Amino acid sequence: MKKISSSNITQKRSTSNKTPIKKNNVLLRDKPETGFIDFSKKEKEAREKDWYIFALAFLDLAKNGCEYLIKEKSLKSKKYITIGIIYNLKHSLEIILKAFRRFHRRSQNKELNRSDYSHDTERLFDDNFKKQIEKKLDKKSKKIFSKIIHKYQTFDLFNEYLKGCFKFNDLENTFFKYPENSAKVEVNYSRFLNRITKTDIKNIKEDINEIKKIIDKIKK
């Protein structure tokens, strides 16, 4: 009877019990040379679809809120819903841009960098990625998308309403000490919401419809 050495047993055990490589608690199939999980083509397509599903989920919640307020005879006691509408719309824009950047970098076999994790939609829509996205859009859609991103980043649509709604709180006395400071801004949301009209809600709904058209073009 052939004897098996203890070294062979140890070697077999170490091979069979090899700990799989994981990143962010996700199993890596091959060497992560680019920092990306080595998904198959089908898996990549499914993950890309998931990002746009999330964008549409937040966008549809915003649209449902608009439709609810438009149907109401009076907005007086329901205007608080506008906060959720604006948040969901803004968050959907962030997801759209992050999704595009992520999968464009993957297609170029490049690493994600710090800018890809920003919450600043105008930064996410920088010149490089703006050009890549605009390749998928016609002239009219390019203009609309840029305008919408700027509008909800800077709140241009509500600038008039925001007058008198801000209060600065310079807790650490840095407001006039440094150009970048720790002063806090407090917002009187009740005053702001009282100025919202049904026309504003209808305009937001129009923007949502435009964003949905743009998603269909970008994800192709």
Q: Domain range spanning residue 208? A: 21-161+196-218
Element (H, E) at 94: helix 81-107
Confidence of residue 146 (pLDDT cuts 50, 70, 90): confident
Q: What would the pLDDT profile of 156-168 be if each residue is shown by its tens digit?
A: 878 888 888 888 7
51 vs 148 pLDDT, higher one: 148
| pLDDT score for 21 | 46
| pLDDT score for 16 | 42
Residue 45 lies in a domain: yes
Residue 5 lies in a domain: no
| pLDDT score for 97 | 85
Q: Which residue has the tokens 């490589």?
A: 21
Cα separation, 38 vs 28, whole angstroms: 7
Q: What would the pLDDT profile of 85-128 be if each residue is shown by its tens digit?
A: 999 999 999 988 887 777 776 766 667 677 777 777 877 777 66
Cα separation, 97 vs 103, whole angstroms: 10
Mean pLDDT, the chain, as a whole number?
Answer: 77
Q: What would the pLDDT profile of 33-58 be if each residue is shown by its tens digit?
A: 344 445 566 666 667 778 889 999 99
Domain tally for the chain?
1
| pLDDT score for 66 | 97
Residue 6 lies in a domain: no
Q: What would the pLDDT profile of 173-198 be if each residue is shown by its tens digit?
A: 887 888 887 888 888 999 999 999 99
Confidence of residue 10 (pLDDT cuts 50, 70, 90): very low
Residue 67 has pLDDT above 60, yes or no: yes
One-letter amino acid of 16:
S
Residue 172 lies in a domain: no
Residue 150 lies in a domain: yes
Contact 165, 188 (CB under 8 A): yes
| pLDDT score for 123 | 78
Residue 132 lies in a domain: yes
Residue 189 lies in a domain: no
Phi, psi (deg, nearest 5) at residue 178 = -135, 150
| pLDDT score for 220 | 67
Residue 43 lies in a domain: yes
Cα separation, 214 vs 220, whole angstroms: 10
Confidence of residue 172 (pLDDT cuts 50, 70, 90): confident
Q: Give Cα separations from 102 to 43, 109, 143, 167, 205 (angstroms).
A: 15, 10, 23, 38, 28
Cα separation, 68 vs 53, whole angstroms: 22
Cα separation, 41 vs 38, whole angstroms: 9
Considering the chain, what percentage of its residues have pLDDT values greater than 70?
70
Lowest mean pLDDT among 19-23, 167-171, 179-183, 213-217: 19-23
